[in-house]
């Protein structure tokens, strides 16, 4: 099927700048896990590229404005753009914030051709939202999205020819792309020329999907079917929703229910309809398209993004949302869970019961009432741990694989104090132990005083400098480990001319 895709370049940067009120002439980037994931045109002219480390990007462009990656923000700001497209085209589907797809037949027939339809949509988005966009038309979502990034309208039957010279990096699978490059397959056309049976036997199922895209076909064969109406899930909300955090909690419950209902029929959702109504009778609806079957977390994310966009957009409803309905617009055959040799049905059922129990506790305490720790990157033990609400994606805040100069060596302390107490460290003569600008201690720690109680030191190790934000000319910071005579092991930090207890070891 020929699709018309509307693509807004650098959308993550545009959304972040709009929320922060930053002008378009400022160099800006969006970072995730300490890596640049989106850049503005001004930043690219300064040599900043995607994939760079944050520090390298700031070194190339000292006036760079840095924003954290926030999919919820991106989806909320994108809602007016999707609504603008919906005013002149029927069947709008949000692929992701910054990209919407529409069946080309409707707007092309109404406006008298593909080029007039594309021009009308570009003007519509610019007039309604003051956002620049590009339009592409081709067979299939993959090809239409690549065409939109180039502003091309591919003629009918020309999709394969359009894809053939494009680089293999256009496939969104870094491991497969790296392997194909090492095998000498550097373009989509070269990959498409390989027999599908050879791709399946050599690379597996994920590569077969990519191979179909390279050939200009849909990612899956056309075996999808319209789901029966009884698979829809709905929730009457009382009191009506007018806060995003409450909407996110309802979204999580509905996502679990919809996924369980689909799984019972051996199905998975690839196009999700999100519908809501308010106390004043206003009807809101949007369809989200996804290349991969949606997981419960994926469903919940899209529902949360959409509700956030409705509740915070300039054209938000005049009353709270009283009903939410999720409709699986398009489904595919689900894949059974493959359990490993040492875990059987009992383990899966126990995990499911535990998950339901945690969701129930969240119902009593709120979404932040149940959290799980995620270990990320950082130099100190406290900054490496991120607490994630149960059910949310467990992604680290920073990349744990980076070098992190000055990172505390193993083992890590078993207890990290939320409010580190101050203390005094004394040497053999009773003088306070200080630290020079070259991270040299003035003496060997022989005694520590915590809350007025002196304790002798049996052994110590360090110091380990904390090498961060050197350009701010901060006082030197370093950590040492001390073992007291009573067997207590502590992690101490020297900062601002004094010592504090950061953690304790078992």
pLDDT digit string, tens, across residues 149-171: 999 999 998 999 999 999 999 99
Answer yes or no: do 284 and 424 share one domain: no
329 contacts: CB under 8 Å, gap ≥ 6: 227, 269, 271, 272, 273, 287
The answer to whether residue 500 sits within a structural domain is yes
Last residue of a domain, one of 124, 150, 176: 150
- What per-residue confidence (pLDDT) applies to 351? 59
Q: 3-state DSSP call for residue 81?
A: helix
Answer yes or no: do 37 and 144 share one domain: yes
CATH number at residue 287: 3.30.1490.100
What tens digit of pLDDT does each residue of 397-439 get?
777 777 776 677 667 787 877 777 778 888 888 888 888 877 7
- Contact between residue 493 and residue 477 where contact means Cβ atoms under 8 Å apart: yes
Answer yes or no: do 269 and 328 share one domain: yes
Answer yes or no: do 307 and 192 share one domain: no
- What per-residue confidence (pLDDT) applies to 197? 84
Last residue of a domain, one of 286, 307, 333: 333
For residues 429-450, average pLDDT: 86
Distance CA(454)–CA(432), nearest Å, equals 13
Answer yes or no: do 357 and 419 share one domain: no
- Contact between residue 318 and residue 283 where contact means Cβ atoms under 8 Å apart: no
Whether the ω angle into residue 463 lies within 30 degrees of 0, i.e. cis, is yes
The answer to whether residue 142 sits within a structural domain is yes
Answer yes or no: do 499 and 445 share one domain: yes
Answer yes or no: do 175 and 309 share one domain: no
Q: Which residue has the higher pLDDT, 27 or 264?
A: 27
What tens digit of pLDDT does each residue of 203-234 get?
777 788 889 899 988 765 444 445 555 788 88
Provide the sign of the torsion angle of the four alpha carbons 79, 85, 89, 95, taken in this order.
negative
Whether the ω angle into residue 411 lies within 30 degrees of 0, i.e. cis, is yes
Answer yes or no: do 122 and 234 share one domain: no
What tens digit of pLDDT does each residue of 330-366 get?
887 654 333 333 334 444 455 556 765 676 676 566 6
Answer yes or no: do 111 and 25 share one domain: yes
The answer to whether residue 220 sits within a structural domain is no
- The alpha-helical segments, DSSP class H, found in 130-217 are 141-150, 159-163, 174-182, 188-192, 196-203, 205-214
The answer to whether residue 223 sits within a structural domain is no
The listed range with the strongest mean pLDDT (176-185, 257-266, 356-365) is 176-185
The answer to whether residue 287 sits within a structural domain is yes
Identify the CA nearest to 93 among candidates 4, 25, 219, 199: 4
Helix/strand/coil (H/E/C) assignment for every residue in 372-433 = EEEECCCCCHHHHEEEEECCCCCCCCCCCCCCCCCCCCCCCCCEECCCCCEEEEECCCCCEC
Last residue of a domain, one of 125, 150, 175: 150
The answer to whether residue 193 sits within a structural domain is yes
The answer to whether residue 410 sits within a structural domain is no
The answer to whether residue 159 sits within a structural domain is no
Fill in the DSSP letter of residue 485: T
Structural domain boundaries, residue 171: 164-214
What tens digit of pLDDT does each residue of 465-503 get?
776 555 556 667 788 888 888 888 888 888 777 888 888
CA 314 to chain centre: 25
For residues 368-380, average pLDDT: 77
Distance CA(467)–CA(431), nearest Å, equals 27
**Of 120-129, 175-184, 352-361, 426-435, minimum mean pLDDT range:** 352-361
Answer yes or no: do 235 and 322 share one domain: yes
Answer yes or no: do 13 and 32 share one domain: yes
Answer yes or no: do 143 and 187 share one domain: no
CA 322 to chain centre: 29
- What per-residue confidence (pLDDT) applies to 402? 72
pTM over 0.85: no
- What per-residue confidence (pLDDT) applies to 65? 93
Radius of gyration of the chain (CA): 28
What tens digit of pLDDT does each residue of 188-202 get?
999 999 988 888 878
Total domain count, the chain = 5
State yes or no: pLDDT of 145 exceeds 70.
yes
């Amino acid at each position: 099927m020929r699709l018309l895709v509307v693509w807004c370049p650098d959308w993550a940067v545009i959304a972040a700048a709009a929320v922060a009120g930053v002008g378009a002439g400022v160099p800006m980037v969006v970072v995730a896990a300490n890596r640049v994931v989106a850049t503005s045109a001004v930043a690219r002219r300064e040599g900043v590229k995607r994939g760079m480390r944050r520090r390298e990007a700031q070194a190339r462009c000292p006036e760079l404005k840095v924003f954290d990656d926030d999919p919820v923000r991106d989806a909320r700001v994108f809602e007016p753009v999707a609504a603008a497209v919906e005013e002149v085209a029927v069947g709008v589907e949000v692929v992701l914030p910054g990209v919407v797809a529409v069946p080309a037949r409707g707007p092309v027939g109404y406006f008298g051709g593909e080029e007039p339809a594309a021009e009308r949509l570009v003007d519509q988005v610019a007039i309604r939202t003051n956002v620049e966009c590009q339009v592409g038309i081709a067979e299939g979502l993959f090809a239409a999205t690549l065409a939109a990034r180039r502003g091309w309208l591919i003629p009918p039957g020309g999709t394969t020819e359009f894809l053939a010279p494009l680089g293999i990096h256009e496939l969104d699978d870094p491991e497969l792309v790296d392997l194909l490059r090492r095998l000498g397959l550097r373009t989509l056309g070269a990959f498409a020329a390989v027999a599908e049976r050879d791709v399946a036997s050599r690379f597996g199922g994920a590569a077969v999907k990519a191979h179909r895209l390279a050939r200009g076909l849909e990612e899956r064969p056309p075996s999808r079917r319209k789901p029966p109406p009884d698979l829809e899930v709905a929730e009457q909300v009382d009191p009506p929703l007018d806060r995003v955090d409450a909407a996110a909690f309802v979204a999580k419950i509905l996502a679990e229910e919809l996924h369980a209902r689909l799984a019972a029929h051996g199905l998975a959702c690839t196009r999700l309809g999100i519908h809501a109504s308010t106390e004043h009778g206003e009807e809101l609806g949007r369809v989200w398209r996804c290349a991969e079957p949606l997981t419960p977390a994926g469903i919940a994310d899209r529902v949360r993004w959409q509700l956030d966009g409705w509740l915070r957009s300039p054209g938000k409803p005049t009353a709270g949302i009283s009903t939410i309905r999720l409709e699986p617009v398009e489904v595919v055959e689900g894949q059974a869970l493959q359990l490993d040799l040492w875990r059987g049905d009992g383990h899966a059922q126990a995990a499911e019961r535990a998950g339901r129990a945690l969701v129930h506790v969240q119902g009593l305490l709120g979404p932040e009432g149940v959290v799980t720790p995620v270990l990320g990157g950082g130099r100190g033990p406290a900054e490496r741990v991120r607490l994630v609400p149960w059910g949310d994606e467990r992604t680290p805040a920073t990349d744990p694989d980076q070098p992190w100069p000055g990172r505390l060596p193993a083992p890590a302390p078993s207890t990290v104090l939320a409010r580190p107490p101050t203390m005094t460290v004394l040497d053999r003569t009773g003088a306070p132990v200080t630290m020079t600008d070259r991270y040299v201690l003035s003496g060997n720690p022989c005694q520590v005083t915590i809350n007025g109680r002196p304790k002798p030191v049996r052994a110590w190790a360090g110091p380990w400098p904390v090498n961060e934000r050197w350009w701010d000319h901060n006082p030197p910071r370093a950590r040492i480990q001390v073992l007291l005579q009573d067997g207590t092991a502590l992690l101490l930090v020297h900062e601002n001319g004094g010592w504090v207890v950061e953690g304790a070891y078992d």
